[in-house]
Amino acid sequence: MEDLWRERKAYPLLGLMSIGVILYLNFGDKLSFPILWQPKMSFVGTNSTRFVINDDNGEQSIFYVNGWNSYWLMEESVWSTSRYKVSEMLKRGSQMGMTVCRTWAFSDGDRHDSLQFAPGFFNEKVFQGLDFVIAEARKHKIRLILSLVNNLDAFGGKAQYVKWAQEAGVNVSSSTDSFFSHPTIKRYYKDYIKAIVARKNSITGRRYSEEPAVFAWELINEPRCTSSSSAPLLQTWITEMASFIKSLDQKHLVTVGLEGFYGPKTTERSGVNPGEWAALLGSDFIQDSAIENIDFASVHAYPDSWIVDWFHQILLPSFLISMTSYHDPLAGSLVLIWKKKHIFFHVGWITIYMMERVC
């Protein structure tokens, strides 16, 4: 009787194992199963000029951002042979005490490794690469700032959206600034946002909108709008898109992705700009950051690129210190204007080297 019981128990197990082998041999890496255990994480919010975490008991604790920028994580996660680079980067960041990593959640165009190869059409293999980045970040307790489109042409950018509209027969200006104003192009971008936010991770089984390993959505990497230097066009776009993403996802923070330039209306602070040209790019740090659904401000500082004269580069450390103090929301009236936290995302590599040598 005992042998019969053992046989009856073994046969179903052998059957399941056989099915698993057959599925693997036929479908290989197309199969994926949700991870059943992940490190516990909570969503990050804001409380005036502080980032905070609300635990299950309703208690708030301050969250300190200490992080880095690795734009390439999704690109290197498309193929299993290069995923180790992503794992190692996130692992090392965690070991160094880092808490946040900023990376691309976009790649637009007709390249073989593009995430979006036409408006609303996606490469599932590349999407699975982004799934891996998010799952791996959570594994190492790193939170991600996911940027949604590029102002520059690299990885498609706003120029690719304009090109798609032109190819569809839409009467649109050849200026890439049409990205911020044309209804068809704005619809393309909103559809992209909707697809990203609603994406169900093939590894974790969790939608991106429900994933606490996402720290924030960044609307666009370093927006510039040279055809409207007075800034209202870009501000209108930021207002619309920030509101749209909040309508889909109330759990995550939203930021713009600004370089930190002051516009013509902020004359009292325009002196900190790296040149007069910076006030003519349709962006204003104060006005853009004050928009209701923008949760925190950002600054991308590239003084070694902005100030190319070597004589002036000797002064780069002091320029950066001045720029930092001018963008500090705790400095006087700024905190009264919008009471928002801000992050310095980038510092040019020559500046870092020179500051290390000087200090």
Strands (E), 235-328: 253-255, 296-301
Q: What is the pTM of this model?
A: 0.83
Q: Which two tokens stand for residue 112?
A: 């073989």
State which residues of the chain have pLDDT below 70.
1-36, 228-231, 303-304, 307-342, 344-359
Name every residue whose Cβ is closer than 8 Å to that of residue 264 and which is 6 or more positions away in sequence.
229, 230, 231, 270, 279, 280
- The pLDDT of residue 142: 98
- The pLDDT of residue 4: 45
Question: What is the rounded distance in angstroms from the CA atom of residue 248 to the CA atom of residue 223?
Answer: 22
Question: What is the rounded distance in angstroms from the CA atom of residue 115 to the CA atom of residue 110?
Answer: 9
- The pLDDT of residue 237: 97
- The pLDDT of residue 33: 47
- The pLDDT of residue 265: 78
Smallest Cα–Cα separation from 162: which of 139, 132, 192, 185? 185
- The pLDDT of residue 65: 92
Q: Which two tokens stand for residue 279?
A: 């006030």
Q: Where are the alpha helices (DSSP H) in 261-348?
A: 285-289, 303-306, 310-313, 316-326, 333-338
Q: Which amino acid is at 226?
A: T
